[in-house]
Amino acid sequence: MKIAVAKETDAAEPRVALTPDVVKKLKGLGADISVETGAGVASGVTDAAYEEAGATIAASRADALAGADVLLTVRRPSPESLAGLKPGALVIGTMDPYGQADAIAALATANVSAFAMELMPRITRAQVMDVLSSQANLAGYRAVIDAAAEFGRAMPQMMTAAGTVPPARAFVMGAGVAGLQAIATARRLGAVVSATDVRPAAKEQVASLGAKFVAVEDDEFKQAETAAGYAKPMSAEYQAKQAELVAAHIAKQDIVITTALIPGRPAPRLVTAAMVKSMKPGSVIVDLAVERGGNVEGAIPGEVVEIDGVKIVGHLNVAGRLAASSSALYAKNLSSFLETMISKETKELAVNWDDELVKATALTRDGAVIHPIAKPAEAN
């Protein structure tokens, strides 16, 4: 069984799908591991570190992939970049699967079995494979570091001989994994933190991190958490009431971090241009949803814009800005899933296509698209 890892083909992607720790683990399961030279450099992993862990360094992508049973990847590869893999090889990574029927059909045509890690069920057994959580956690941390780097003041209160520097006031919108880590990090740095979320369960989590919870707590709010633990879209009426509360709150903040994402939908607009305008000059907003349309009016993907003295930070791939840590966790997510598809006896691949994790994530098999998310509508 040969497992391949190559440099990501998107130059803006510094992460890598495999780290030396995981190489050792997969070697123990009977795999041969081939890593394209330089694949880990942007994540602080040298070729030598891979070799020391037991991988073979391949001089090119083609060499790494030649005859491989499995390709581990960060982003969905193009069909052309898969040349050399065994027919039916597993390609495991984040596949950005929503609304991408054509791209997924092309993977079927390339005759690989593609797995979208984003579709992993949120069940206990699969927690260790949850790439959305592992990357969101680091993005939440990094959002605060990015805010602190753009902010012209210190975050903590400082008592000095010349007077007191007041603590920054930070407001985190969306208290999922990223938001909770942002709250925790801003608290570490000494900010006075508040947070909001449409899920009632978030209230207690926010409070337990020492932050103040800010939300319109009406009946709709109390019923808002979906079974999957994701936020569901709220009514226009609720959104208006919440926006009013939030608008008054935002005007008093130094830092706002928005993290509201709903899988498969555009990001909800949480911060309007008027709210941005209400903030003091020198304030900083970080929009972690900028890649999905943005929570903040005026945010531009990949840029830090300044509007009336307020900076709106729209960095892309925020987890990738901590590539060493995010690659380490991502590689563990992937290998934990891959392990479930390797037979301990034969030390070969043995995919159980009836396993719920496989069923939830497999997009393509035997030349066909098999996942409802990307299946052509048959009646059309």
CB of 119 to a second copy, least distance (A): 17
- Using CB under 8 A as the binding rule, the residues of this chain from 25 to 64 that contact a second copy are 41, 43-46
CB count in 10 Å sphere of residue 111: 18
The three-point CA angle 51-13-267 to 5° equals 140
Pair 56, 32: CB distance under 8 Å = yes
Helix 131-150 / helix 177-188 crossing angle, nearest 10 deg: 40
DSSP letter string, 168-182: PEEEEE--SHHHHHH
* Piece in contact with a second copy (CB under 8 A), picked from 65-73, 95-103, 267-275, 332-340: 332-340
100 labelled catalytic? no
Q: Which of 279, 209, 281, 268 is nearest to 242 (CA)?
A: 268
Which of residues 43 and 258 has its CB atom nearest to a second copy in the complex?
43
Q: Compute the distance between CA of residue 168 and CA of residue 140 in angstroms, rounded to an integer.
A: 17
Q: Compute the distance between CA of residue 110 and CA of residue 366 in angstroms, rounded to an integer.
A: 10
Residue 149 in the binding site for a second copy (CB under 8 A): yes
Residue 157 in the binding site for a second copy (CB under 8 A): no
Residue 251 in the binding site for a second copy (CB under 8 A): no
Residue 259 in the binding site for a second copy (CB under 8 A): no
Q: Which of 91, 181, 174, 95 is nearest to 135 (CA)?
A: 181
CB of 86 to a second copy, least distance (A): 28
122 labelled catalytic? yes
Q: Compute the distance between CA of residue 15 and CA of residue 24 in angstroms, rounded to an integer.
A: 19
230 labelled catalytic? yes
CB of 77 to a second copy, least distance (A): 22
* Piece in contact with a second copy (CB under 8 A), picked from 71-79, 198-206, 274-282, 296-304: 274-282
- Using CB under 8 A as the binding rule, the residues of this chain from 333 to 352 that contact a second copy are 333, 336
153 labelled catalytic? no
Pair 231, 197: CB distance under 8 Å = yes
CB of 253 to a second copy, least distance (A): 14
133 labelled catalytic? yes
* Piece in contact with a second copy (CB under 8 A), picked from 92-100, 279-287, 293-301, 364-372: 279-287
Q: What stretches of the chain show up as alpha helix (H) in DSSP? A: 20-28, 47-53, 61-65, 101-109, 131-150, 177-188, 202-208, 219-222, 236-250, 273-278, 323-339, 356-361
Report residue 301: phi and psi, to 5°: -55, 130
* Piece in contact with a second copy (CB under 8 A), picked from 80-88, 145-153, 292-300, 347-355: 145-153
Contacts of 378 (CB under 8 A, 6+ apart): none
Q: Which of 305, 293, 296 is nearest to 276 (CA)?
A: 296
Instruction: Give the CA diameter of the chain.
Output: 75
Question: Applying CB under 8 A, which of residues 233, 281, 302, 367 lies at the interface with a second copy?
Answer: 281
Which of residues 46 and 235 has its CB atom nearest to a second copy in the complex?
46
Question: Applying CB under 8 A, which of residues 11, 80, 87, 160 lies at the interface with a second copy?
Answer: 160
Residues 130, 146, 197, 254: which is the catalytic one? 130
The interface mask with a second copy, positions 100-139, x = CB under 8 A, is ---------------------------xxxx--xx--xx-
Residues making contact with a second copy (CB under 8 A):
14, 41, 43-46, 127-130, 133-134, 137-138, 141-142, 145-146, 148-149, 151-154, 156, 158, 160-163, 165, 185, 188-190, 280-282, 309, 321-325, 328-330, 332-333, 336
Which positions are catalytic?
Answer: 122, 127, 130, 133, 230
